[in-house]
């Protein structure tokens, strides 16, 4: 009795999962990681794209009681990890005062550095 060949899943047909949607998702994830490298080249933190394929065999016990394989469910997951984006620190000046109506008002504004050094 000859062994049946297992279903063929290769790097050539992974992109065909979900009617080609996974191929598009993989391409988008790769482009996102590359764009982040291009926009922040001095940041040496690593960017990752992870493709996870989960295989779930479906057994077929109708073949004279012997275990067999009737199908394999394949689920794909694509995950992109990029370094966190941080902005600079800005100071929010908060002060309380009395408004024209006589009520206490709290004002908060971001402190603007002088446009020209020494021109305050």
**Mean pLDDT in the chain?**
85
What span, in angstroms and rounded, lies between the C-alpha atoms of 101 and 120? 31
pLDDT at 2 over 80: no
How far apart CA 84 and CA 101 sit, in angstroms, is 45
Who wins on pLDDT, 17 or 113?
17
Q: Where are the domains of the chain?
A: 14-81
What is each CA distance from 96 to 57, 105, 108, in whole angstroms? 68, 6, 9
Instruction: Provide the sign of the torsion angle of the four alpha carbons 22, 25, 30, 33, taken in this order.
Output: negative
Give the pLDDT confidence score for residue 1 in this predicted structure.
42
User: Each residue of 4-62: pLDDT tens digit?
Assistant: 665 678 888 888 888 989 999 999 999 999 999 999 999 999 999 999 999 998 887 66
Query: Which is more confident, 18 or 120?
Result: 18
Query: CB under 8 Å to 98, separation ≥6 — which residues?
Result: 104, 105
């Amino acid at each position: 009795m000859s062994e049946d060949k297992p279903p063929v899943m290769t790097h050539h047909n992974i992109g065909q999962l979900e009617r080609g949607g996974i191929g598009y998702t993989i391409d988008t994830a790769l482009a996102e990681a590359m764009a982040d490298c291009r926009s922040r080249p001095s940041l040496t933190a690593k960017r990752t794209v992870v493709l996870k394929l989960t295989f779930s065999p479906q057994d077929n016990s109708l073949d004279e009681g012997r275990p067999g394989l009737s199908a394999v469910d394949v689920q794909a997951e694509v995950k992109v990890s990029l370094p966190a984006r941080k902005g600079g620190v800005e100071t929010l000046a908060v002060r309380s005062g009395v408004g024209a109506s006589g009520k206490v008002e709290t004002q908060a504004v971001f402190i603007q550095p002088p446009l020209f050094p020494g021109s305050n």
